[in-house]
Chain A
Amino acid sequence: MAAPRGNTKWQTLARYVAYLVVAVAVLVPYVLPLPLTFKPSDWAKKLYDRVEALPEGSAVLFSFDYDPAAMAELYPMSLGLLRHCFRRNLRPIVMTHWPNGVGLCKQLVEKTAEEAGKTSGQDYVFLGYKPGGSNLVLNMGESLQGAFDRDYYGKPTEGMPALAEVKKLKDIPLVVDIAAGGTVEMWIAYGRDRFGFDLGAGCTAVIAPDLYPFLQSKQLCGFLGGLRGAADYETMLDKPEDATKGMQAQSLVHVFLIVLIISANIGYVWTRVVRGPED
């Protein structure tokens, strides 16, 4: 293999400058808020409208399948969705497939319930974690109380007011999976397509492109992708918080990265013109 060409000292310096510019671009909006506005995407709006269209008192199942590593993107959208449900007096049923996400899930549910003055077991239920993945979804499709005989706090789910008239997955009009892994596909195949409920999804930006085919095939009724999706939901709720502020930093970094990619390509072409093609 030929040795890398170019001045490595300059390249190292350029790398440090790039890091520095990214750091400054991320910090600037927290010092000087920018007048950047954006319009919520169609798919985020569809999920919002689906929640909005549910009759008061309807059950909504949330599967928060992520851990603190994906908190930056998924926590704000989870917060927005739960706030929306509580604001509309819906009954959130919250669970997770990720054991490392239970603590985060509990904090999220208790925070939003306290803000809205809702009571566990009465207005919402936090089921916690159960192992099983797709088997658990199939089990919930047969009997929700059979799959989770107790909630996270150890109260029996049988006869719980928050689960009134909810015996199995098909009794729930809307399920939303907020995921940092492949659980959305699992919910589509083992849940939505088998038991016939509407499925919405939110996910990290990294896995967002994998989910677009399911939007086109209408297997997902709405979708929030990455920090942008979270900011969209905050905008529609008229409660701009961390994600909206984060999007300002995101936009500045993107501008810098676009400039960097274009200039690096010009530099690459220029090097080839001046020095000739590599061996």
Chain B
Amino acid sequence: MAAPEETVSPVRRAVELSVLLGLLVAFLIVSVVIEAPTTAKRIGIVLGAGLTLVMYSFLYRDNPLFKIAENLYVGVALGYGAILTWKLSLKPEIVAPLILDPPHWAAFWGELARRIVPIILGLLLLTRLSRKYAWLSRYAYTLMVGWGAGIGIPIVAHSYILQQLQAAVRPLNAAAASDAGFWASGLAMLGALVILIGTVTVLFYFFFSVEHKGVGGAVSKVGIWFLMVSFGASFGYTVMGRVSLLIGRVQFLIYEWLQVPQ
């Protein structure tokens, strides 16, 4: 469902348009006064600065300039990705060794033999585009799923389950270094205890075969607290990440567009 259109009075629209034009002129003047965009690098920086400011205009309200920049981003990312796939994968792995820069006859068969299975599997995946022959792609998918599961399951079980389990159930005193002082050892043991309690209570919270009542309910509630703390930590880190992106853009505007010396 489309978002409801915000009703804006004609006067407000006229004021917004005037402010927008004023900002655009100011942006161009600042860009030209600092350094005329005559080199490819400078043109790139001015475009980047303009698009950055346009993206942030969304904070005021959705607007046509933001929409243009948004679509431009999607288009450029897609085009860039397609060119890179050609340049970094298809060309060096298949086209160059077999067609553009083929080795001598005997070596050619060796190169082809090394690549023929992946080429056929890749082509089979492309049959998804045809309704009639889409079933052929199942062979490639079957191989991918079978190979992925065969290789992945033991590795993942070892690294993500057994190793983690080992770290969670080791003796509490093993958390402290032998040369650590009383307080450091105490804190390390406390940390190990908190991890143990957190692991057990959160696992219990996700154990649905027993009704969470009485002692079980209390344990499950402790599990919820641990989950809440974990969500809070994740949210805090996410805020930090988003603010870092803003800082990165501000540094770009200050040091590269406005050329303020560091």
Contact surface of A with B, Cβ cutoff 8 Å: 16, 19, 22, 26-27, 30, 69, 71-73, 99-100, 102, 128-131, 134, 138, 185, 188-190, 193-194, 204-206, 208-209, 213, 216-219, 225-228, 241-242, 245-246, 249-250, 253-254, 257
- Please tell me if the beta carbons of A72 and B151 are within 8 angstroms of each other in the complex: no
- Please tell me if the beta carbons of B240 and A250 are within 8 angstroms of each other in the complex: yes
Contacts of B155 in A (CB 8 A): 189-190, 193-194
Encode contact with A along B173-217: 1 for CB under 8 Å, 0 otherwise: 000000000000000000000010000000000000000000000
A62 to nearest B CB, angstroms?
18
Which of chain B's residues 79-117 have a Cβ closer than 8 Å to chain A?
80-81, 84-85, 88-89, 93
Instruction: Using A73-B241, A99-B89 as known contacts, list a sample of 8 further A-B pairs with CB atoms less than 8 Å apart, ordered by residue number in A.
Output: A102-B88, A129-B84, A189-B156, A205-B241, A213-B164, A226-B241, A242-B251, A249-B247
Closest chain A residue to B255 by CB distance?
A242
Instruction: Provide 17 A-B residue pairs closer than 8 Å at the C-beta atoms, listed in order of the A residue.
Output: A16-B60, A30-B254, A72-B244, A72-B249, A73-B241, A73-B244, A73-B245, A102-B84, A102-B88, A193-B159, A205-B238, A205-B241, A206-B237, A218-B167, A219-B159, A226-B241, A249-B250
Closest chain A residue to B170 by CB distance?
A217
- Please tell me if the beta carbons of A131 and B164 are within 8 angstroms of each other in the complex: no
Q: A228-B240, A246-B251 are in contact. Are A188 and B159 (CB under 8 A)?
A: yes
- Please tell me if the beta carbons of B247 and A246 are within 8 angstroms of each other in the complex: yes
A159 to nearest B CB, angstroms?
19
Contacts of A217 in B (CB 8 A): 163-164, 166-167
Contacts of A193 in B (CB 8 A): 155, 158-159, 163
- Please tell me if the beta carbons of A27 and B241 are within 8 angstroms of each other in the complex: no
Contacts of A188 in B (CB 8 A): 159
Contact surface of B with A, Cβ cutoff 8 Å: 59-60, 77, 80-81, 84-85, 88-89, 93, 151-152, 155-156, 158-160, 163-164, 166-167, 195, 230, 233-234, 237-241, 243-251, 254, 260, 262
Contacts of A225 in B (CB 8 A): 237
Contacts of B77 in A (CB 8 A): 100
- Please tell me if the beta carbons of A128 and B88 are within 8 angstroms of each other in the complex: yes
Q: A189-B155, A193-B158 are in contact. Are A206 and B241 (CB under 8 A)?
A: yes
Instruction: Kindly name the residue among B88, B155, B241, B245 whose own CB sees the greatest number of chain A CB atoms within 10 A.
Output: B241
Contacts of A130 in B (CB 8 A): 88
Taking a contact as CB atoms closer than 8 A, the residue among B81, B158, B237, B246 that contacts A209 in the complex is B237
Tell me the complex Cα distance, A72–B239, Å. Answer: 14
Tell me the complex Cα distance, A30–B241, Å. Answer: 19
A195 to nearest B CB, angstroms?
12
- Please tell me if the beta carbons of A73 and B85 are within 8 angstroms of each other in the complex: no
Closest chain B residue to A138 by CB distance?
B151
Instruction: Kindly name the residue among B81, B166, B251 whose own CB sees the greatest number of chain A CB atoms within 10 A.
Output: B251
Interface majority SS (helix, strand, loop, mixed), chain B: helix
Instruction: Kindly name the residue among A138, A253, A257 whose own CB sees the greatest number of chain B CB atoms within 10 A.
Output: A253
B189 to nearest A CB, angstroms?
14
Closest chain B residue to A188 by CB distance?
B159
B241 to nearest A CB, angstroms?
4
Contacts of B250 in A (CB 8 A): 26-27, 30, 249
Q: A193-B158, A217-B164, A219-B163 are in contact. Are A205 and B85 (CB under 8 A)?
A: no
Tell me the complex Cα distance, A147–B85, Å. Answer: 18
Taking a contact as CB atoms closer than 8 A, the residue among A27, A100, A208, A242 that contacts B80 in the complex is A100
A34 to nearest B CB, angstroms?
14
Contacts of B159 in A (CB 8 A): 188-189, 193, 219
Contacts of B247 in A (CB 8 A): 26, 72, 227, 246, 249-250
Taking a contact as CB atoms closer than 8 A, the residue among B84, B158, B230, B245 that contacts A72 in the complex is B245
Contacts of B195 in A (CB 8 A): 216
Closest chain A residue to B59 by CB distance?
A19
Tell me the complex Cα distance, A130–B89, Å. Answer: 7
Tell me the complex Cα distance, A159–B248, Å. Answer: 40
Tell me the complex Cα distance, A242–B255, Å. Answer: 10
Closest chain B residue to A215 by CB distance?
B167
State the 8 A-B residue pairs at the shortest beta-carbon distance, nearest first.
A72-B248, A217-B167, A205-B241, A189-B159, A206-B241, A227-B244, A205-B240, A99-B84
A115 to nearest B CB, angstroms?
16
- Please tell me if the beta carbons of A204 and B167 are within 8 angstroms of each other in the complex: no
